[in-house]
Amino acid sequence: METSAIQTVIAAPFCVKDLPEPGPDEPLFLPADAQRLWYLGYLERWDNFQRQAVKHWDSQECKSAFDETEGCSADLDVPRPAKPDVGQDSHGSAKLEDCFRREVLGIVEHVYNLLLTTRTMKEAEDITAPERISVETAAYQTVTDEISRPMFVVCAKPAGDGSEETRLIGHVEYLGGKPGALTWAVREAAKNSWGSLRCVLGEIAQSMLKANVNYAFLVSSDEVMFLRYDIETRTEYVNLALPDQAPHFDDVDVNIEPRLCFSDPIKHADVLDEVEGTLSVKLGLLYMVHTVMTNDWQMPEEKGNCAKYAAKTKAGEKYMPSCP
């Protein structure tokens, strides 16, 4: 089947222009002297994320929906202006955030809203899709509660009179502009190195809890990672009877623990290549948006002590577990 113009755009790489060359002493996180929050819960590789995304891309439902959008790609060629406060002299993190907003989020928002208008999506029996989606840039507070940083928010407008719901969030972590910083962080996942995965994911894990969403994405200077936050409840079959009563056994929740699943980092320059097993950033995000718009996206009300699976350190310091 011939690929449509919109599909070609989605499968293409994400090109970031004018990012400065990283310096040898460039701090990983900004501000350079700010405290850092570490994630201390379970970590697990989301090893089938890319396969799931490609499977959806190749599905008859997805192909039929794209076929219905044929001839609607003109708006994708319209240049999206940069923010007025982002210029040639802006820091690389500001340029990256603005470029990702325009060249990835803006395109995915436009394409998914087109797909929502198709008969294929409207008549799909196994999903309940929203009326439309919107992408916003909000602010979140860092661990010091003194610094405001941008956060991408993808919202759904349910059909009817329902109000917009936040279903997906994203952070930009410039990581000093260092190439492959997320890939390196994954390699260091079992360690307490500054810039290792627990260090990198600390802020966004807390933001997911605060926003009450199961899914998120993290953008670095040359890679993107997709995240799923699972809250797991462990139960035990215990005797609930008092000492002077007959035994009475039942299942009891004894522990609630977080598990943060992370995809393999996707390079900005990657294109969809099923032979090589690569995925474009826009396709990965489109699949993530479809997932949160048609499946469970909200965390359970009972989160236990998940927010406490975290620790703060000073800038540049490794996390050292305290001795009992």
Digit-coded pLDDT (tens) for 125-162? 777 889 999 999 887 666 555 566 768 999 999 877 77
Low-confidence ranges of the chain (pLDDT < 50): 1, 323-324
If you count them, how many residues does the chain have?
324
SS3 percent helix, strand, coil of the chain, rounded to 5, is: 30, 25, 45
What pLDDT is stored for residue 3 in this prediction?
Answer: 72
Whole-angstrom CA distances from 186 to 47, 177, 225, 249 are 13, 17, 10, 43
What pLDDT is stored for residue 324 in this prediction?
Answer: 43
- Cα radius of gyration (the chain): 21
Q: Which of 147, 148, 279 is nearest to 223 (CA)?
A: 279
- The encoded tokens of residue 255 equal 């522990």
Convert the pLDDT of each residue in 270-323 to its tens digit: 999 988 889 999 999 999 999 999 999 999 988 988 999 999 999 999 998 764
What pLDDT is stored for residue 255 in this prediction?
Answer: 67
Per-chain mean pLDDT for the chain: 89
The pTM assigned to this predicted structure is: 0.91
What pLDDT is stored for residue 159 in this prediction?
Answer: 79
- The encoded tokens of residue 26 equal 């460039």
Contact by Cβ (8 Å): 111, 62: no
- Conformation bin of residue 212: beta by default, left when phi > 0, alpha when psi is -120 to 50: left
User: How, if at all, do strands 36-39 and 42-45 pair?
Assistant: unpaired
